[in-house]
Amino acid sequence: MMGRTRYVVCRIMLHLSGSEVAPILGALNRSASEAIDAEGDMKVMGEELVSICENLLDYDESWMSSANEGDVFWKEEDAGDYFQELFTDSGERYLSEPPSNYSNSNDSFSVPVTRNVVVMITVAYEGEVPQLEEDLSNIAAMQEALKALIDLHYKNKLRAVQVHFSPAQLGDELTNDQLLQHFTELIPL
């Protein structure tokens, strides 16, 4: 196996819950806007991933459940296909479409505040990162995984990054029933 590049594609899902989680949608939407403006520039994408991971670490008292999956590849094309598969699945989740502009027409001054947010981070990287390649169904492991994602950016090992979140913007609400219906793989932390 010497001389071959090891590619890993993984997706982490993290469910946050509580009355104080809605503000994270602002940080997620800011990062999404920066990433869209950067048109795929990996340096900017990595910086936004760092920002998202740091925000999630700040909200660790609101973490309720998680899931992770991934695979190892020796061909970049196979890794790209799997990344696209996870990207498509994340994008099809309830209320996880890209942010849209807020409408100003006759909106009331109050918006419903969601008590549930699910963040789905999909990355492709080179090498081996044990913190991302293990069961992340406990808080300590999830904290280490988010820190490992930050390290991947600074070590220039990231090859692709995509972040989806549900609900997609302030004013949308992810109910407990929708959470159970669309995120069945989540395991309580």
77-109: pLDDT as tens digits: 999 999 999 999 998 886 655 445 444 444 555
Closest CA to 119 of 164, 183, 161: 164
Closest CA to 153 of 9, 47, 39: 47
pTM for this structure? 0.89
**The two three-digit tokens of residue 29, written as one number:** 């939407």
Cβ(112)–Cβ(171) below 8 Å: yes
Each domain of the chain, given as residue ranges in start order, spans 7-97+114-183
Beta carbons within 8 Å of 103's beta carbon, 6+ residues apart: none
Local confidence band at 173 (pLDDT 50, 70, 90 cut-offs): confident
Q: In what helix (H) or strand (E) does residue 141 lie, and over which residues does it extend?
A: helix 139-154
* CA–CA distance, 12 with 133 (Å, rounded to integer): 10
